[in-house]
A and B are shown apart, each in its own frame.
Chain A
């Protein structure tokens, strides 16, 4: 690990506008610092500035940026109103990591791949302009949607996929005041600058994430991975589906493991609205979602896998019992 100075923030104002790298749980940052992928010169520890409560916010909830993943997933208000979020968090990492990882830190975990963490490889995310050794390399975990010629890494988190489906909003404090960014717009696609994973500007700090009123509908998080536990998603589907009189009245969907960010395509939900569930309808939605999807060899399987996983989730969410046919 490269050397660094360390300081403790005593309140939020210490962190706003700071040029130091903020550390909360540190589970991703310290891991990457050990690999010398991340080499901050100054760490500012923000674990003692509050922001660690979940509170009512209108008809929804406000989750403080420093609420741990474990506390968030165990919170009764979350489990009752937003079981999707609780289950997505519990589908990620390990109990030890969830006890440290925080709401804000989890959002800021790096979009990454094995070439990003291997200093011997070229990586535009780690070293802009150096190239991408993932393209043409081992691509089992890589993106099928929204990638660019510069980067095909995937955002590995589960929590943010659920927050995208739930249409959460990130509160950000900066030197010029507060701003709100929907979770769906918080993370970036790689385009020509893969070094930036999200829209946070220098000196800005996430203070909380708000959730709208839970609303009606069945909430499902389905994660497909290589191991039964403690592995990143190959693909995941977060869904909130409500049925009224046999027709789909709500369809909020987000997808993990397939892009540089939690993937949300409003057209996929829209095509389901007002319709009666059927294999043909689900197939149509999946085809719309995967229009333009591109594999890179080792991850070609993700295209049919996401198609089938979406179909299975929609079948389950709409009360169907038939096995979904591709």
Chain B
């Protein structure tokens, strides 16, 4: 057995310990150990964004970081963003604009866009064209159904709606 110190971290407000095989990615920990299966495994190599979660306020690929590396971190998955009866503004907008077909990439899209809203509030720059910038900012999330234009419409609506 390979050695590693335990890690203690928070997922969607609840504290968890991990003391297993250091090879466990955060993605596999969420899905297999916590049964939080909203987070999806697409490519498992950081190319598709389906596994996107929010760690300490930043969107990251949960497939490219280890569970043991999360010691002291605060993680939010799609299960921590909204519930069927209490959807987030982005979730409502995705439904309104048909921002998905099969839905497999959707949890990653929503987590990514949720963090993107904060990046915009923080004034983070982007090299996208000014009128087309959301496409650049969402380029880490692929959608094989090709719902991109509706995804962008949904995110744009949330950005443009006045703060509640």
Contact = CB atoms under 8 A, between A and B. Distances in A.
Contact of B23 (A4, A45, A47, A230): A4
Chain B contact surface mostly: loop
Given A4-B23, A5-B22, A87 B127 contact: yes
A6 B2 CA distance: 8
B5 A26 contact: no
Contacts of B52: 96
B4 A31 contact: no
Interface in A1-48: 1, 3-8, 23, 26-27, 30-31, 34, 43, 45, 47
B78 to A, nearest CB: 15
Contact of A45 (B2, B69, B116, B128): B69
Given A31-B45, A96-B46, A229 B5 contact: no
Nearest to B4: A6
Contacts of A45: 68-69
Interface string B50-70: 001000001111001110110
- The winner among B45, B71, B125 for most chain A CB atoms within 10 A is B125
Contacts of B49: 94, 96
Contact of B66 (A3, A6, A90, A96): A6
A95 B135 CA distance: 12
B64 A91 contact: no
Nearest to A30: B64
Contacts of B66: 6, 26, 30
Interface stretch (B79-87, B96-104, B136-144): B136-144
A70 interface: yes
B44 interface: yes
Contact of B139 (A4, A8, A86, A229): A229
Contacts, number: 102
A7 B139 contact: no
Chain B interface size band reads 35 or more
B119 A3 contact: no
B62 to A, nearest CB: 9
B139 A47 contact: no
A70 B124 contact: yes
Contacts of A8: 5, 71
- The winner among A23, A27, A79 for most chain B CB atoms within 10 A is A27
Contacts of B3: 5-7
A95 B112 contact: yes
B50 to A, nearest CB: 11
B61 A27 contact: yes
A90 B128 CA distance: 9
Contacts of A23: 69
B123 interface: yes
B15 interface: no
Contact of B58 (A30, A73, A99): A99
B116 A27 contact: no
Nearest to B68: A6
B124 A230 contact: no
A100 interface: yes
A159 to B, nearest CB: 13
A307 to B, nearest CB: 24
9 contacts: A3-B21, A6-B2, A31-B46, A34-B45, A45-B69, A74-B125, A93-B140, A94-B49, A96-B52
Given A74-B122, A94-B46, 5 more contacts: A4-B23, A31-B45, A31-B46, A34-B44, A94-B140
Query: Which 4 pairs between the two chains have the least Cβ-Cβ distance?
Result: A94-B140, A229-B139, A6-B22, A6-B4
